[in-house]
Amino acid sequence: MGNARLNRWSCCLVSLLLLAPLMFGSGRCAAETNDAPTPIPEIQAAIRSRLENHGDGDTVGCQGEILCGTQLLPTAYDKRDDLPLWVDDGCSVERATHLFDLIGKATEDGLNPADYHHHAIQHLLAAICERRTTGIAVPPAWWADLDLILTDAFLLYGSHLSTGRVNPETLGTDWKIHPGSVDLMAVLDSATAPDGNIETAMDALRPPYDGYHSLRRALARLRVLAPANGWPTVAGDKTLRPGDRAAAVTALRHRLTESGELNPARPVTDTAFFDSQLAAAVKRFQRRHGLEPDGIVGRKTVGMLNVSVEQRIRQVALNLERWRWRPRDLGNRYVMINTADFRLDAVEDGQVVVTMRVVVGRPARRSPVFSARISYLVVNPYWNVPTTIAVEDILPELRKDISYLSRHNIRVFENWQSGAREVDPATVDWRAYHANRFPFRLRQDPGTHNALGRIKFMFPNPFAIYLHDTPHRSLFRRAQRDFSSGCIRVEAPMALAHFVLAENPTWTDDKLAELIDSGETRTIRLRHPVPVHLVYMTAWTDETGSLQFRSDIYQRDRDLQKAFDRHHPKRSPGLAFMPDTPDGQTRDWKNKFDGN
C-alpha cells in the first residue's frame, strides 16, 4: 500500500460496473435462492485489487460515486487483510441494508443522504437482489464495490455527524473553531464487529449535547408542517394592536395557532377581534423570536410571522451544523455567549447559574466565533483605544473640536511603545493624519466614564476581543443589541466576576467592590482559567423545549447556506456504467431480501 493514499481525504469517483436496467420479477433474495454465496476469499481479492490498482493521487471508484475516503479506506481494510466489513460468509445484506436505512435518515440531522452514496447503494443492492432472485451468481467485484462504497459512506457520514459538513474557518476570518477529533476507525470497528450495533455506533458520533438532540426533534416537528403548506401569512399593511378588529386578525390567530403560541381549544366567538388572549400569544411569539414583547404586530413582528416553514427548516438545519462544530468538552464551568441572541450564560455542572444581556459588535465590526479561557481580570482598567476606532470614530470628532479628548479623559502618546512620551493634542495638526498614517496611542483613564467600565475580563485570542463593563447602561434595554466595535459589553459585571472568581476565595464581593471604589488599576489572575465560548446560534430550543429563532444579524446563515449549496455529490462524467432504473421499474427492493 502506498503511503501517498494515506495522506489526504480526497473526494473521488469512478464507476466500475455495467449493469443492465433492473427488471424486477417475483421471488426473494433469500437463502433458498438458487445462487451460491460468493466465496469470501474472492471478495477479499476484489477489494484488494480495487485498493491496490489505484496509484498515488488516483481514485478508488464505485458505482459512479466519488469516494471520499481515499485516505481512510486503505487503513480500514489493511487491518482486516482486505476482508469485507459489511458482507458475511453467507453474503447476507442485512447489515448493508441497515446502514442504507440509517443513511436515508440523514435528513433528521439536517444532512442530505445523497452526499453519502444513497442512490448508488440502492441501485447496487437492487442489482444484487435481481441476480440472486434469478439464480445468477453475483460477481465478486459487485460485492467488493458494495462493501467499499458502504465503508466510504459510513466514514463520510460519520465525519459530518461528528465535526460538521462544512469547515467553519472557510466561511470567514472571524471563525476560529476546533471541534476536536473523533476516532472514526474505532467507531467503524465497533459498528462492524460481529456483535456491533451500527445505529448505536452512529449515534455516538453525534454531538453529546441535549441541545443538539432537542433541536433535532424540533426539526422533525417543523417537517410535519411543511407538507401541509406550512402556516398562513399575515398582512403587513397595517399595524395590529389589542382591541383592533380586522380580517388580518383572523389570519394572525390562525398563524399563532399553527405554531403553538395560541391554544386552539379555547373557544372564540369573534375571530377578527384582537383580544387579550391573542395579545398574550403575540408576546409569546415575540419573545420566542427575540423581539420586543409589546403585543403589537408591527413591521418586525409581521416579518418574523411570514418567514415560511421551509425557511425555518433550513435555519434549523444550519444551526444543527453549528452544534457539530462545538468542542466535545466545553468544561465543567464555562461562559457561553450567543452573539445572535445578545446573551451570556455562565454554566456550572450543566446548569446555567448566571445569565445576562450583552451588547455585541455591530454588523460592520462583527464579534467573532471562537473559544478561549478567561485567565485574568483588570479592575479600573485603562482603555487603549484600538487604532481602527481611533481613526474611524475619534479622529473625525477631534478634528472638529480638540476638547473632545479632555471631555472624555483621553490622553495622547506619541506611539505604542512602552514609556512613549505623552503629547499635547493641541500641538498636533490632526488634519494631516488618516488611516494609513496614525502613529499615536490614545488612552482613556479609568473612571466612571471609561468605555470599559470598572472591570474587563481577559482571555488571550487572535481577535483582541474581551468582555467588559460599560457606562452606557441604556443599551441593555434594547431587544437587538449590536452596537459595539466587536468586544462584548456585559450587563452584570459583578455577577460575572463573582462566577469567575469563585475559586479565588480571597476575592469576596466586598473586597472587589472596595478595590473598584479605590480607583486603583489592578490585575487579578485566576487560579483556574474559565473557558469562554463565543457562538452564533440563530435557532435553538430553550429549557422548556420551545424552539427559539433569532435574526441573522451578521448574515452568517446566508453564508453557511451558500457553502451547503456549493457542495453537490460528484459523479464521473462518461464513466457511469450503471444507468438509472427506468421510470416505473423501481420497487421496494428491501422487501425482496426477506430479512436476509
DSSP per-residue string spanning 379-432 = ES--EE--HHHIIIIIHHHHHH-THHHHHTTEEEESSSSTTPPEE-GGGS-GGG
Cα-Cα-Cα-Cα torsion 489, 534, 223, 291, nearest 10 degrees, comes to 0
Element spanning 141, H or E: helix 140-163
Beta-bridge mates of residue 442: 412
Would residue 487 show up in a list of annotated catalytic residues for this protein?
yes
pLDDT for position 590: 35
Residue 454, judged by CB atoms within 10 A of its CB (0-12, 13-18, 19+), counts as buried
Residue 38 has a pLDDT of: 67
Looking at residue 474, what is its pLDDT?
94
According to the model, what pLDDT value does residue 249 have? 96
Q: Helix H segments across 507-571?
A: 509-518, 556-566
* CATH match for 231-307 among 3.90.180.10, 3.30.1330.10, 3.40.50.2300, 1.10.101.10: 1.10.101.10
Residue 397 in grid coordinates:
470628532
Cα gap 410→403, rounded to integer Å: 10
| pLDDT confidence of residue 5 | 34
Question: Per the residue annotation, which of 62, 68, 91, 487 is the catalytic one?
Answer: 487
CA 98, CA 26: separation in Å to the nearest integer?
23
In the CATH hierarchy, which top-level class contains the domain 330-382+447-537? mainly beta
Backbone angles phi, psi at 240, to 5 degrees: -105, 130
Answer yes or no: are the C-beta atoms of 314 and 223 closer than 8 Å: no
> How close are the terminal C-alpha atoms of the chain, in Å?
34
pLDDT of residue 63: 57
From first to last of the 596 residues of the chain, give the pLDDT tens digit.
333 333 333 333 222 232 323 323 323 354 334 455 668 899 999 989 888 865 444 555 565 666 666 678 888 999 889 999 998 877 788 999 999 999 999 999 999 999 999 998 999 999 998 888 888 888 998 999 999 999 999 999 999 999 999 999 889 888 898 877 889 999 999 999 989 999 999 999 999 999 999 999 999 999 988 877 788 899 988 999 999 999 999 999 999 998 889 988 888 889 999 999 999 999 999 999 999 999 999 999 999 999 999 999 999 999 999 999 999 899 999 999 999 999 999 999 999 999 999 999 999 999 999 999 999 999 999 999 999 999 999 999 999 999 999 999 999 999 999 999 999 999 999 999 999 999 999 999 999 889 999 999 999 999 999 999 999 999 999 999 999 989 999 999 999 999 999 999 899 999 999 999 999 999 999 999 999 999 999 999 998 889 999 999 999 999 999 999 886 544 332 222 232 332 322 233 333 333 33
Helices (runs of H) and strands (runs of E) counted in the chain: 18, 18
User: Strand, coil or helix: what is 160?
Assistant: helix
CA neighbours within 13 Å on the CB side: how many for 230?
Answer: 13
Main-chain phi, psi angles of 355, to 5 degrees: -140, 145
Q: What is the pLDDT of residue 437?
A: 93
What pTM did the predictor assign? 0.86
List 468, 498, 533, 567, catalytic entry: 468
Catalytic annotation present for 160: no
The answer to whether 259 and 244 are in contact (CB under 8 A) is no
Please tell me what DSSP assigns to residue 35: S
For the chain, what are the domain ranges?
40-224, 231-307, 330-382+447-537, 384-445
Strand runs (DSSP E) across 450-504, as ranges?
A: 455-458, 467-468, 482-484, 488-490
Give pLDDT, residue 473. 93
The span from the CA of 497 to the CA of 512, in Å, is 9
Question: What does the pLDDT read at residue 596?
Answer: 32
